Chain A
Amino acid sequence: MSTRRLAFSHHDKGSIVIEIGRMYTKVGLSGEPAPRHVIRSRVEMKPYGALQDVWDPKYLHREELYLILSRFLQNIYLKYLMVPSKDYRVLVVEPLLSPSHFRNTLARALFNHFSVPHVAFMPSPLLGTFSLGRQTALVVDIGWLETTVIPLYEGVPIMSAWQSTSCAAKTVHNTVMECLIETGAITDTHTQEQNPAGTLGLKELIQGSLEDIIVSTCAVRSMDCDRTPPEVSFPLSQQYTLCLPGPARDACAEGLFEEGEGDLSLPSAVLESLLKCPCDCRRDLSENVLVLGGIASLPGLNYRLKQELERLAGDKNERFSAKLGALQFKFHQPPAHPSTAAWLGGSIFGTSEVAVLERAVSKEKFREMNQRLPDWTSCDPEQHEQLRPVPTRKLLPAAPSSLYKSTTKTQSAH
């Protein structure tokens, strides 16, 4: 009965799905295969006019974040989505461990400044699995600053097996930058003068177009490859051309596969996480690896990761071989660009009104909770109780149905 009532009582408009990444923000409406807009996570702060990074560590724990976020969201609502904020619930796709002040402030901005009726926060690895249509996956989420590895088994994240490493998109950027400063050269097309890429002033020029350099010229070398790609001349501006040496082009992701100081490499983080899982779900997980994040679109990354995983797991000298040696590694291809796969999961999840509302906080509830969101790590028992009200045994009074009967009677009498 309830399903029928839900289906006919009103037309569901769907939800707005927002993923505020460190570099890029993806916004769109639920049910669509791709975000409407992918924009930089920045906002112009009047009257100072300067572009302000949303994730700026300077403001991350300060009160000013409210103003930054509300300006940023205002831009999204008025310029990009152009929908009235009061009519749509919001699904925020967030990293597994997002700073609580950021979450709270974002919720405060959405509820107070935009009067959004419901806001749901969902972790991006979990939503990533929705784009696959399956409940079990080992999700490797390569972000800008850190990579998180989380196994999901039948829709339940195995939190004890969570792993994180600082081998992430920034590592790739740094590797390429270092490589270029060492071996790259910049030619001035006017004077035909050649300078090393490390020259002051030119370094900033490279930094500005580093993302483009990586996207258009780089790939991840496989382990058994002995060839060197040819060098490329990349136009940085009208005046300068960067000569990109061959080795820099396929060595961009080497930093992901090297153990840092006290830090795991990407493959060992994956194996470490598998090791912590119960042994009967390891096979299911290793055969369902899902790599998320913009860096995952680098050609050859998944292939190299598979090779590295097999090498590490099979290596007798490493600690993994005894327990993980027999595992096979299989990878998933989400039906979207890897950078928007988590968003797509949110888009699919956001269409189901029941599921979102069950996990969402309403505006009234938020006010009752003193403008603080409950965290899954929060130990405040009072808050937990408020989020999940204990089902009361009290029966609902039969008023609505009897009322309905009486009105129909009077109508027929007339």
Chain B
Amino acid sequence: MALSLHYLKRVLYSCSCSQPAPLTDLYFCRHCKVARCQDCVSITVDTYFCPHCFETVPVSEAKNRKNRCNHCFQCPRCSSTLTTRSIIVPSEVLAEQSPKKTESPSSKSPSLARSPGGTKSYYLSCTHCKWSTRDVGIKDKRSPIDFKDPLSPHQERVSQLVSFYKEFSMRDQAEREKAKKVGRRGRSYGGLLDTSKFVKGASSDSPKQLRRASLQGTWNKSVVNKVATQSTDCPDQIPDGFYSGEPELKKIATLQQRLLDPAHQPARVEQFTPRPLHLIGKKLLRCKGCDHILLKAEINPSSIRFKIQQIALHTFPQIRILKPPSLVAGAPCEVLLSVSNPVNHVVSISFQQLEPSFTKGGKVSLAPVSLPKGSYQLSPNDDMGDLLDDSEEELEGEKEFIHSRLLGKLVLKFNVAPEEGTTGEVKFGFVLSFDYKSTMELEKQESSCIVPAPVVVDLGKLTHSDD
């Protein structure tokens, strides 16, 4: 695998959307029998979980919590995860601090308050930058989940505007519909059948009534003016402190710290509040052609395994450059490529020339190549293979082009003739066809089909002969 990482950009397979990609980035759809790259699969978030406490959060709850964890918090200063610290407050101190609370019987945790050792209280602190909730004057809480993201200062105003515009658009629509009706039939008598006005006890102040009134009655300008903000004659001036003394930069938030909390955008360190940690998701990949699942992770957040994993690396014979060839312009050069079998049964492969349409109208110039003729068989890639006796099973393949044969691997000779005047990298391409045996349980009888995989190999620059 190390080799394949090394040659990541050297051997590029072509996706069904004709985008070149390394084999490690491709998926293989068993149903469409084509390779799919990152851009031709649809990706959705499958399960949500907190990256710190590993709690799996159901979809509906994640939506309600705005994709944030209830228990874990992020440092507003350095954005690392905060740790919860607990201290035991002796009950006498607690009684002194808040005499009213302990007197009232309806205090939140009476059992805790009465316990002989005192009660636990919690604060959050950052192990990385030493920021803590005590720095900004947030009181210690009785429970670690009592730390809540404070509401936006404009929340009320915004919800007022939202309801105003919702009504506005509804009224707009109703009016238009009315106009349409009038234009069509002359007049509508629908209003006469409306019995809601006779319902007993419906006060005229209920929002439904109000809406009805506003929908039917006149939408006078005063309603609009009530909602509208008033402009000010004197906009804010520079604060006084600006000219008088050097600002303490340590107390001013950086832009990154401000943008971490878009609702408040704290300008100063004193305004920092702990941010609930953002959830992360496990992804679910589907083929865009047939909607079958290509990749599905296990639900358990601490597991890194997959339930379904259809990656091209498990199906496609993998091609590697065995050693860097010496390339001379105008002369045929021998290039050794190894083809390895990923599956534990015999796979037969063959090579064809790339169609000229593949080079995108001459955008990618490929060197002419003579490919190994005929079809070859790859021995199964079996972990136990080397323990068995060397079976003298004859595998198909012309001896002329075979350099060597290993377990589950075949090294083949290609003849590439780089053209004169090639300045960039020497590339050559071919179509690797292999027979794919479907091993799906649903398909009872084993079916096999030939899957073509266009491959472009980048051999690097021409070798300069110094003699």
Question: Does A21 reach chain B (CB closer than 8 Å)?
Answer: no
Question: Does A319 reach chain B (CB closer than 8 Å)?
Answer: no
B236 touches which one: A70, A83, A300 (CB < 8 A)? A300
Task: Kindly supply a per-residue 1/0 record for chain B positions 224-252, scoring 1 wherever the CB is within 8 Å of any chain A CB and 0 otherwise.
Answer: 10011101111111110011011101001
B235 lies within 8 A of A234 (CB): no
Tell whether A82 pairs with B231 under 8 Å between CB atoms, given A1-B190, A219-B238, A348-B161: no
B263 lies within 8 A of A349 (CB): no
Please give, as numbers and ranges, the residues of chain B lying within 8 Å of A44 by CB-CB distance: none
Complex Cα–Cα for A213 and B263 (A): 22
Question: Does B104 reach chain A (CB closer than 8 Å)?
Answer: no
B246 lies within 8 A of A232 (CB): yes
Complex Cα–Cα for A234 and B124 (A): 29
Shortest CB distance A392–B (Å): 11
Please give, as numbers and ranges, the residues of chain B lying within 8 Å of A335 by CB-CB distance: 154, 157-158, 161, 229
Task: Kindly supply a per-residue 1/0 record for chain B positions 397-438, scoring 1 wherever the CB is within 8 Å of any chain A CB and 0 otherwise.
Answer: 000000000000000000000000000000000000000000
Please give, as numbers and ranges, the residues of chain A lying within 8 Å of B283 by CB-CB distance: 78
Question: Does B177 reach chain A (CB closer than 8 Å)?
Answer: yes
Tell whether A78 pairs with B45 under 8 Å between CB atoms, given A3-B215, A302-B236, A354-B169: yes
B235 lies within 8 A of A133 (CB): no
Please give, as numbers and ranges, the residues of chain A lying within 8 Å of B263 by CB-CB distance: 33-34
Within residues 87 to 106 of chain B, which ones have a CB less than 8 A from any CB in chain A?
Answer: none
Shortest CB distance A232–B (Å): 6
Tell whether A328 pairs with B233 under 8 Å between CB atoms, given A31-B162, A354-B173: yes
Please give, as numbers and ranges, the residues of chain B lying within 8 Å of A26 by CB-CB distance: 262
Complex Cα–Cα for A299 and B224 (A): 31
Complex Cα–Cα for A357 and B264 (A): 31
A333 lies within 8 A of B259 (CB): no
A230 touches which one: B38, B233, B246, B265 (CB < 8 A)? B246
The stretch that binds B, out of A35-43, A144-152, A194-202, is A35-43
Please give, as numbers and ranges, the residues of chain B lying within 8 Å of A222 by CB-CB distance: 237-238
Question: Does B254 reach chain A (CB closer than 8 Å)?
Answer: yes
A132 touches which one: B160, B228, B235, B280 (CB < 8 A)? B228
Tell whether A288 pairs with B190 under 8 Å between CB atoms, given A82-B45, A299-B242: no
A352 lies within 8 A of B9 (CB): no
A300 lies within 8 A of B238 (CB): yes
Question: Does B170 reach chain A (CB closer than 8 Å)?
Answer: yes
The stretch that binds B, out of A92-100, A271-279, A336-344, A372-380, is A336-344
B246 lies within 8 A of A47 (CB): no
A230 lies within 8 A of B245 (CB): yes
Instruction: Find the B residue at minimum CB distance from A351.
Output: B162
Complex Cα–Cα for A151 and B75 (A): 42
Shortest CB distance A81–B (Å): 8
Interface size class of chain A, counting residues whose CB lies under 8 Å from the partner chain: 35 or more
Please give, as numbers and ranges, the residues of chain A lying within 8 Å of B264 by CB-CB distance: 34
Complex Cα–Cα for A82 and B63 (A): 9
The listed residue with most A CB atoms (<10 A of its CB), out of B25, B67, B229, is B229
Instruction: Find the A residue at minimum CB distance from B163.
Output: A351
Please give, as numbers and ranges, the residues of chain A lying within 8 Å of B247 by CB-CB distance: 216-217, 232
Complex Cα–Cα for A24 and B260 (A): 13
Shortest CB distance B434–A (Å): 24
Please give, as numbers and ranges, the residues of chain B lying within 8 Å of A315 by CB-CB distance: none
Question: Does A323 reach chain B (CB closer than 8 Å)?
Answer: no
Task: Kindly supply a per-residue 1/0 record for chain B positions 149-174, scoring 1 wherever the CB is within 8 Å of any chain A CB and 0 otherwise.
Answer: 00010110111111011101110111
Please give, as numbers and ranges, the residues of chain B lying within 8 Å of A60 by CB-CB distance: none
Task: Kindly supply a per-residue 1/0 record for chain B positions 273-309, scoring 1 wherever the CB is within 8 Å of any chain A CB and 0 otherwise.
Answer: 0000001110100000000000000000000000000
Tell whether A217 pairs with B45 under 8 Å between CB atoms, given A2-B173, A36-B66, A130-B165: no
Task: Kindly supply a per-residue 1/0 record for chain A positions 219-236, scoring 1 wherever the CB is within 8 Å of any chain B CB and 0 otherwise.
Answer: 111100101111110110
Instruction: Find the A residue at minimum CB distance from B268.
Output: A216
Within residues 119 to 163 of chain B, which ones have a CB less than 8 A from any CB in chain A?
Answer: 152, 154-155, 157-162
Tell whether A131 pairs with B161 under 8 Å between CB atoms, given A3-B173, A303-B235: yes
B229 lies within 8 A of A132 (CB): yes
B242 touches which one: A24, A79, A219, A328 (CB < 8 A)? A219
A331 touches which one: B168, B232, B255 (CB < 8 A)? B232
Tell whether A330 pairs with B233 under 8 Å between CB atoms, given A78-B281, A299-B242: yes
Task: Kindly supply a per-residue 1/0 record for chain B positions 27-55, scoring 1 wherever the CB is within 8 Å of any chain A CB and 0 otherwise.
Answer: 00000000000110011110010000000
A82 touches which one: B67, B165, B169 (CB < 8 A)? B67
A24 lies within 8 A of B259 (CB): yes
Shortest CB distance B88–A (Å): 38
B224 touches which one: A79, A134, A225, A227 (CB < 8 A)? A134
B169 lies within 8 A of A355 (CB): yes
Question: Does B62 reach chain A (CB closer than 8 Å)?
Answer: yes
Shortest CB distance A387–B (Å): 17
Complex Cα–Cα for A135 and B164 (A): 13
A235 lies within 8 A of B249 (CB): yes
A133 lies within 8 A of B173 (CB): no
B165 lies within 8 A of A37 (CB): no
Shortest CB distance A51–B (Å): 16
A33 touches which one: B158, B168, B233 (CB < 8 A)? B158
The listed residue with most A CB atoms (<10 A of its CB), out of B22, B43, B164, B255, is B255
Please give, as numbers and ranges, the residues of chain B lying within 8 Å of A131 by CB-CB distance: 161
Question: Does A113 reach chain B (CB closer than 8 Å)?
Answer: yes
Complex Cα–Cα for A160 and B258 (A): 38
Question: Does A215 reach chain B (CB closer than 8 Å)?
Answer: yes
Complex Cα–Cα for A354 and B175 (A): 13
B281 lies within 8 A of A82 (CB): yes
B249 lies within 8 A of A352 (CB): no
Question: Does A115 reach chain B (CB closer than 8 Å)?
Answer: yes
Question: Does B184 reach chain A (CB closer than 8 Å)?
Answer: yes
Complex Cα–Cα for A216 and B267 (A): 8
The listed residue with most B CB atoms (<10 A of its CB), out of A33, A300, A347, is A33
Instruction: Find the A residue at minimum CB distance from B19.
Output: A67
Shortest CB distance A59–B (Å): 16
A287 lies within 8 A of B48 (CB): no
B25 lies within 8 A of A47 (CB): yes
Complex Cα–Cα for A47 and B5 (A): 12
Question: Does B8 reach chain A (CB closer than 8 Å)?
Answer: yes
Question: Does A260 reach chain B (CB closer than 8 Å)?
Answer: no
Please give, as numbers and ranges, the residues of chain A lying within 8 Å of B21 by CB-CB distance: 47
Shortest CB distance A27–B (Å): 10
Within residues 77 to 93 of chain A, which ones have a CB less than 8 A from any CB in chain B?
Answer: 78-79, 81-85
Please give, as numbers and ranges, the residues of chain B lying within 8 Å of A398 by CB-CB distance: none
- Top 4 A-B residue pairs of the complex, sorted by shortest distance between their CB atoms: A302-B235, A34-B263, A330-B231, A134-B228
Q: What are 17 pairs between A and B in contact, CB < 8 Å?
A: A3-B174, A34-B154, A34-B263, A82-B279, A113-B39, A130-B161, A133-B224, A133-B229, A134-B224, A250-B238, A250-B242, A299-B242, A335-B154, A336-B154, A337-B262, A349-B165, A352-B169
Q: A31-B159, A215-B254 are in contact. List 7 more A-B contacts (CB 8 A).
A: A34-B263, A134-B224, A229-B242, A288-B231, A303-B235, A348-B158, A354-B172
- Using CB atoms and an 8 Å cutoff, list the residues of chain B in contact with chain A: 8-9, 21-22, 25, 38-39, 42-45, 48, 62-63, 66-67, 152, 154-155, 157-162, 164-166, 168-170, 172-174, 177, 180, 184, 190, 215, 224, 227-229, 231-239, 242-243, 245-247, 249, 252-256, 258-259, 262-265, 279-281, 283
